[in-house]
Structure 1
Amino acid sequence: MEALLRVRLTLVLFFFVHLSLLSRTSSQEIQIVNAERRIDLTSHIIKVFVTLKVENSGTSPALEILFAFPPTLVDHVALFKAAATVGKRKKKTYVPLDVKPTELPNAPNGTKYFSISLLNPLSKGETATLEVLYILTRSLEPFPAEISQSESQLVYVRDSAILLSPYHVKQQITLIKTPSTRVESFTVVAPSNRAGTELKYGPYDDRPPYSYSPILVHFENNNPFSVVEELEREVEISHWGSIQITERYKLVHAGARHKGVFSRVEYQQRGGSGSSSFRHLLARLPPRVHSVYYRDEIGNISSSHLRTDFRKSELEIEPRYPLFGGWKATFVIGYGLPLEDFLFESPDGRRYLNFTYGCPLTETVVDKLTIKVVLPEGSKDPTAMVPFPVEQHLETKYSYLDVVGRTVVVIEKRNVVPEHNVAFQVYYNFNPIFMLAEPLMLASAFFLFFVASVSYLNVDFSIHKK
């Protein structure tokens, strides 16, 4: 029996090793027929769109496509996703593909990879078109690093005129869009040219694997470099009809540091704005919000405006002072939501919260985001379903009239961008009998107080002789 088990185990291992080698071998025989890369630099969040037409020129079917990054760039990747193009023209659709970080032995110069799993194995001579989107944060470096109140902010970005790829690329082109026509300088890699706010590199033909041509673009970017160094969002569920949200922000202007003394007179003369400073922030909240407040350590801040309709709510907030490069602000936003809009019951009888991940502030990067979902007392077996990798653990929180405490599902993620604002779910089991715990405790306390009062009033504590 043991010998038979060993034989079966050997066959299974051989199958998986063979499948892995088949995939890797076929990936070496892939070539990119055409690659078009579009780099959007109009914000401090860089978005790169890549269209790849890949062809299998080998004999074995390919199961995956590798996308390469330089080791200095991969740490700035906040989001990476891919989709397969199905159909043509008006009937064209995009099917999301599974992606995951991967490594290759003996990768040249420490190259990092993402593996894109294809919908169907790519046979010999077949082609497939892939759409790739990746987002980079903190990749724009201010130069000069310090500017005065009235100076424009200049930044530079480092990249490559040629797509870094482990495959042979027959033809490729790179387009770079800047926020304005002011471009101080850019690296020339013929053929390349600039027209208005667009830089064009290419087309380049027949580039071997791992070709790389470094470029540097120095340009003006006065958009708000708003970065939340730390954001804690607490979502407290009450089965009595409401959800209370508390968001604690530590905000910083991550652009060129402010140099010199701030002049309020000059600031007002320029229409209440510095070249790269910002004084307004927009938070997109769910519809039907109520009991909204905005405050900091000093107290309530009245400079906020709330606009609501049946589809969304927008809260425009203004810190106590304009934010220049390097300046920071801390504040708290809180609001309530109706329970029936976000809490549901699954077919298996479990309750689940359906809420939006990410940061409500628009065009903002979050270095560290912590979401704490506070479940009602008595909740059991909580599980969180998030559509991207996060760190999770459980805590216990004690509030008024709690006996055993409330379970808190803590979800943490670093390097969060607006594209992470998608729905996530937290499932848990809950016995409705626990809803009577606090009312019974209050009733018991009042009853005991009443009995004690009656007893006190009917007992004679006077001292007298018999």
Structure 2
Amino acid sequence: MTDHRDVMLPLSLQYIATRALLLLVIASAVSCSSLPPEDGIRVVSAEKRIDLTGPIVKVFLTLKVENAPTASEASRVLLAFTPTEFQHLSIVKATRAEGKRKKKAFVPLSVQASELATTAPDAPRLYSVLLSTPLKPGDATTLEVLYMLTHSLEPFPAEISQSESQLVYYRDSAVLLSPYHVLEQVTYIKMPSNRIESFTRVDPTTRAGSEVKYGTYSNQMPNSYLPVLVHYENNRPFAVVEELVRKVEISHWGNIQITEQYKLKHGGARHKGVFSRLEYQSRPSISGASSFKNLLARLPPRVHSVYYRDEIGNISSSHLRTDSHKSDLEIEPRYPLFGGWHCTFTIGYGLPLQDFVFESVDGRRYINLTFGCPLLDTVVDDLTVKVVLPEGSKNPEHVVPFVTEKHLETSYSYLDVVGRTTVVLKKKNVVGEHNVPFQVYYEFNPIFMLAEPLMLISAVLLFFVAFIAYLHMDLSIRKSS
């Protein structure tokens, strides 16, 4: 391990990395040269800020785009991503700055995959930012873009002992990959601490504490790419939920029951050697610096009947704090999690029906809940949300502000006759930005609320009838006269 230095990578490692990335750049540039950019659009200035302080890479882009005076109106602006970024891309959001100074506001814009993307395996993947009002010839506008990348930090070394810190690699470009001509651009890479083992130098490059600046670069041609590699310390918990199943059961008798089943792992550098609990407890700031032993779940307000258990049984190491706006559940697994370690557990709680189920103007009922994972600062590889509607519900319709897989199934519970319609929503690569409200609309006839009470009453009556019949039956054995 080297000291804290502002140096380039070792010659052999840098040569291999640069050569591999250079081949990718050349292939990408060749394959995307046939992608026609929006007529007349060019990027006047671009600022790219890469936040590497956590396990999830957050990239903030500020783009000032201009439409040529002789071009037609532009209704969209294209964003380009490498194939590797596309595989790890979790979410893309964009806003447009409107107004000036104190009256300045940011209007959300729709972002969708572009039909201009090619099928070549090494071609950049394009997304379209749809402008709320077309950009007239000669006009300029400013876009704010946020996108997040998961599983983009590579632990190196891949295995560490209990007393070692976690070091990771991150690969990106010093210039903005764009199908447009970029007149001026700068890139900032922010890391969690001053311990930066090495980083690629592409003049002009400067470092200030935990931040590295690339640029300013001028007159970058379309599809330009300048690979850089940073190697730094990151001991933040790499909490990865491999699979999460959230089951929401609606009862019109006044309660919503939510059950969440987690398969959790530490996605950082794998732990090697023997775990020493004595060392872990005696030197908590040094031993197991990259491990984690508790997580925070942000639950809705007014939760009740909260439980937290695993295969063995109830886990008592949890703390619940509630107020009128939220409920924070701090959970602590039975053992601290090091790199490569796994655990499974279940969280359950109830919610008052009147807070989350409403009636729409057309007479339908709908539930309004938060999509995503309640655990903060986690990545969910595979999320399944099951909304179990009351028996007798029909014509369900879901409203989610992003693309999900959806199908219907039938669930059975106590005293059900025909079963309950269940809306199943699936999504991969889920992060905290997906924790937004979603709705499921359905038609429900209140007469079905009498089904279960009538079944109970019928069962009790049948029991008494059978008991009375039994008392009036003569089952003794005697001789016939």
Query: Smaller-chain TM-score range?
Result: over 0.9
Please state if 1:334 is matched with 2:348: yes
Secondary structure (helix, strand or coil) at the match of 1:403 reads: coil
Residues 285-306 of structure 1: per-residue CA shift (max 9 Å, x gap): 0111111110000111111111
8 A contact 2:39–2:71 mirrored in 1: no
**Corresponding position of 1:97:** 109
Query: 1:104: how far off?
Result: 2.5
- In the alignment, the residues of structure 1 paired with residue 456 and residue 168 of structure 2 have an alpha-carbon distance, to the nearest angstrom, of 61
Pairing 1:422–2:436 present = yes
Q: 1:257 corresponds to which residue?
A: 270
User: Match for 2:193: what amino acid?
Assistant: S
Larger mean CA deviation between 399-408 and 266-275 belongs to: 266-275
One-letter amino acid matched to 1:135 = M
State the aligned residue count: 443
| Distance (whole Å) between structure 2 residues aligned to residue 84 and residue 392 of structure 1 | 31
- Within the candidate set 367, 370, 393, 1:356 is matched to 370
Change (3 A) 1:39 1:137: same
Provide the residue aligned with 1:220 in structure 2. Answer: 233
* Residue 444 (structure 2) pairs with residue 433 (structure 1): no
Q: Distance in 2 between matches of 1:416 and 1:26?
A: 30
- Partner amino acid for 1:399? S
Q: Partner of 2:404 in structure 1? A: 390
Partner deviation per Cα, 1:337-360 (whole Å, 9 max, x = no partner): 100000000000000000000000
SS in 1 for 2:75: strand
- How far apart, in 1, do the equivalents of 2:107 and 2:41 lie? 21
Match of 2:19 in 1: none
Tell me, yes or no, if the aligned pair for 2:117 and 2:126 is still in contact at 8 Å.
no
Map Cα deviations across residues 240-283 of structure 1 (whole Å, 9 max, x no partner): 00000100000000000001110111111113861100001110
Q: Is the 8 A contact 1:26 1:60 kept in 2?
A: no
Once the two structures are overlaid, the 10-residue window that deviates more, 309-318 or 53-62, is 53-62
CA distance in 2, matches of 1:320, 1:96: 43
Asked if the contact 1:30/1:167 (under 8 Å) is kept, the reply is: yes
C-alpha distance in 2 between matches for 1:361 and 1:168:
41
Say whether 1:128 aligns with 2:141. yes
CA–CA distance in 1 between the matches of 2:255 and 2:205?
A: 58
Residue of structure 1 equivalent to 2:94: 82
CA deviation after TM superposition for structure 1 residue 309, in Å: 1.1
d(CA) in 1 for partners of 2:343, 2:311: 10
How do residues 371-390 of structure 1 correspond to structure 2 at under 5 angstroms? Answer: 371-390=385-404
Q: Does the CA contact (< 8 Å) of 2:168 and 2:233 recur in 1?
A: yes
Quote the offset at 1:59 in angstroms: 2.1
Give the drift of 1:461: 2.3
2:223, 2:468 → 1: CA distance? 88
In the alignment, structure 1 residue 283 sits paired with structure 2 residue 283: no
Other-structure match for 2:47: 36
Aligned to 2:56: 45
Shift of residue 98 of structure 1?
A: 1.3
Sequence identity of aligned pairs in percent?
A: 68
Question: What is the identity, as a one-letter code, of the residue corresponding to 2:74?
Answer: A
Question: Which residue of structure 1 aligns with residue 38 of structure 2?
Answer: 27
Partners in 1 of 2:272 and 2:445 — Cα distance? 60
Matched to 1:400, the amino acid is: Y
Please tell me whether the aligned partners of residues 252 and 449 of structure 2 are also in contact (alpha carbons under 8 angstroms). Answer: yes
Cα displacement (A) at 1:180 = 0.3
Amino acid at match of 2:135: L
**Shift of residue 102, structure 1, vs aligned partner:** 1.5
Contact 1:251 1:328 in 2 (8 A): yes
Write the distance in 2 (CA, Å) between the matches of 1:280 and 1:307: 15
Greater CA drift, 98-107 or 435-444: 98-107
Instruction: Output the CA distance in 2 between the equivalents of 1:369 and 1:394.
Output: 16
Moved more, 148-157 or 52-61: 52-61
Contact 2:381–2:429 (8 Å) recurs in 1 = yes
Q: Is the 8 A contact 2:301 2:324 kept in 1?
A: yes
Is the CA contact (8 Å cut-off) linking 2:48 and 2:186 kept in structure 1? Answer: yes
Distance in 2, matches of 1:171 and 1:463, equals: 106
Shift of 1:193: 0.6
d(CA) in 2 for partners of 1:107, 1:317:
45
Asked if structure 1 preserves the Cα contact closer than 8 Å seen for 2:205 and 2:214, the reply is yes
Name the CA distance, whole Å, in 1 between partners of 2:65 and 2:365.
45
Per-residue deviation, residues 326-384 of structure 1 (Å, max 9, x unmatched): 00000000011100000000000000000000000010000000000011110000111
Counterpart for residue 12 of structure 1: none
Aligned pair 1:231/2:233, yes or no? Answer: no
In the alignment, does 2:130 pair up with 1:117? yes
CA contact 1:26–1:62 (8 Å) conserved in 2: no
Instruction: Answer yes or no: is 1:461 the counterpart of 2:475.
Output: yes
The aligned residue for residue 15 of structure 1 is: none
Superposed, 1:259-274 pairs within 5 Å as 259-271=272-284, 274=288
Distance change (3 Å), C-alpha of 1:25 and 1:227: closer
Moved more, 121-130 or 403-412: 121-130
Q: Counterpart of 1:197?
A: 210
1:417 partner amino acid = V
Distance 1:429 1:61 in 2: 44
Read off the aligned partner of 2:449 and give its amino acid letter. Answer: M
What is the letter of the counterpart of residue 268 of structure 2? Answer: G
**CA-CA distance at 1:61 after TM superposition:** 1.5
Q: TM-score, normalised by structure 2?
A: 0.90
Larger mean CA deviation between 350-359 and 61-70 belongs to 61-70
Q: Post-superposition shift, 1:92?
A: 1.1
**SS at 1:39 equivalent:** strand
Please list every run of 5 or more consecutive structure 1 residues that lacks an aligned counterpart in the other structure.
1-23
C-alpha contact 1:256 1:326 (8 A) present in aligned 2: yes
